[in-house]
């Protein structure tokens, strides 16, 4: 049954980097023949949304801009050339879309590396609006049994940590260190790591120890008040963890990881500190045969796999529902390091 659409919608817009964030009324878009129109019911608030607004990623983004790239909602219109979608289906809008599906990277399942991608909330208007168009081939199908508020953060945060865990090559029963474990990404990563059979060492500020252990961390290391972090983790894990994923937005955490990871271990960089240039001692890097990787979100398949954990109730997203007008306050709490859950815009509020 076709739903009547309004002429305008609410959207959170900024005209200049680090400028005022304002809720305005803008037109509801019309889907092209290969697109869906999705009514966005929930949108996760990602750390990269903050970086885009601040201008830290100015080379990859545009102004004015509607931010956001973790949208979940209901399909209200289906373009005439779209197959596999029906009115009323639940759909997800992820960060990277419009990839060509024909290049070397797309064919190998490395879709985020496609040269043709466009990024919602970066170089095209994103999910901090009530209605959005997306190509049918790009939208992520969400099982109707899945809680939509919980599904939204999986479209970036969830798939990002899930893919990074896969990239770590840590096997079930082996140990992984998660830096920044008490934040939005880390809180999901602890649960995904447990579900994948890994043993978790959580690293963060001491105030987040109880939070991390409740989520399933076996050990906790205070990254700020431990005298010798490298020796402490090496001793704790009897030779170093098999893998490290750096979610902490801190240069020192990235540099330390290479020094305490186990021989033949893997360090995966995910967090984006503003000064993202790191210095690495090549001696342990070479002589201990360490692998260092970067990891960025995931493929369509990675999204489906990450979402399945949530649908089955194995991963529970710690969310805080906020209004669209509350996004600036959430950004400030991110800057203050006071986020322990995933803030999600609820458009019904």
341 pLDDT higher than 80: no
Q: By CB neighbour count within 10 A (0-12 exposed, 13-18 middle, 19+ buried), where does 288 fall?
A: middle
List residues bridging with 219 in a β-sheet.
Answer: 201
| pLDDT tens-place string over residues 112-132 | 999 999 999 999 999 999 999
DSSP, collapsed to helix, strand or coil, labels residue 125 as coil
What is the b/e burial string over 304-316, where b = at least 16 CB atoms within 10 angstroms of the residue's CB? bbbbebbbeeebe
pLDDT at 166: 98
Mean pLDDT in residue range 280-298: 93
Averaged pLDDT of the chain: 95
**CB neighbours of 290 closer than 8 A, spacing ≥ 6?**
258, 261, 263, 264, 265, 266, 267, 284
Share of the chain above pLDDT 90, in %: 89
- The residue among 277 and 77 whose pLDDT is bigger is 77
Task: Please write the tens of the pLDDT for every residue from 27-72.
Answer: 999 999 999 999 999 999 998 899 999 998 999 999 999 999 999 9
pLDDT surpasses 90 at 92:
yes
pLDDT of residue 78: 97
Predicted confidence at residue 82, as pLDDT, reads 98
Q: What is the DSSP letter of 80?
A: T
pLDDT for the residue numbered 198: 98
Residue 104 host element (H or E) = helix 104-107
DSSP labels for 230-281?
Answer: HHHHHHHTTS--SEEEE-SS-HHHHHHHHHHSPTT-EEEE----SS------
């Amino acid at each position: 049954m076709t739903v009547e659409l309004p002429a305008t919608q609410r959207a959170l817009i900024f005209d200049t980097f680090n400028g005022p964030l304002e809720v305005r009324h803008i037109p509801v878009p019309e889907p092209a023949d290969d697109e869906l129109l999705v009514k966005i019911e929930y949108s996760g608030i990602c750390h990269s949304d903050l970086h885009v607004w601040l201008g830290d990623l100015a080379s990859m983004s545009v102004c004015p801009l509607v931010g956001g790239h973790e949208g979940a909602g209901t399909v209200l219109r289906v373009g005439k050339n779209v197959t596999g979608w029906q009115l009323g289906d639940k759909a997800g809008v992820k960060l990277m879309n419009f990839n060509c599906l024909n290049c070397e990277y797309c064919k190998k399942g490395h879709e985020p590396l496609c040269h043709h991608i466009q990024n919602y909330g970066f170089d095209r208007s994103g999910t901090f609006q009530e209605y959005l168009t997306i190509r049918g081939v790009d939208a992520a199908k969400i099982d109707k049994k899945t809680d939509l508020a919980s599904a939204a953060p999986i479209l970036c945060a969830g798939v990002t940590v899930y893919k990074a865990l896969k990239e770590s090559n840590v096997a079930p029963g082996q140990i992984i260190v998660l830096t920044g474990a008490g934040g939005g990404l880390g809180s999901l990563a602890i649960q995904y790591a447990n579900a994948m059979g890994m043993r978790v060492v959580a690293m963060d500020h001491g105030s987040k120890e109880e939070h991390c252990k409740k989520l399933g961390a076996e050990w906790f290391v205070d990254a700020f008040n431990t005298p010798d972090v490298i020796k402490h983790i090496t001793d704790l894990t009897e030779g170093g963890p098999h893998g490290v994923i750096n979610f902490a937005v801190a240069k020192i955490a990235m540099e330390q990881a290479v020094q305490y990871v186990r021989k033949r271990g893997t360090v995966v960089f995910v967090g984006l500190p503003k000064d993202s240039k790191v210095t690495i001692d090549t001696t342990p890097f070479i002589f201990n045969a360490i692998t260092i990787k970067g990891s960025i979100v995931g493929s369509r398949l990675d999204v489906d796999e990450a979402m399945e954990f949530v649908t089955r109730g194995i991963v529970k997203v710690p969310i805080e529902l906020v209004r669209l007008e509350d996004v600036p306050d959430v950004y400030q709490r991110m800057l203050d390091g006071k986020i322990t859950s995933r803030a999600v815009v609820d458009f019904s509020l």
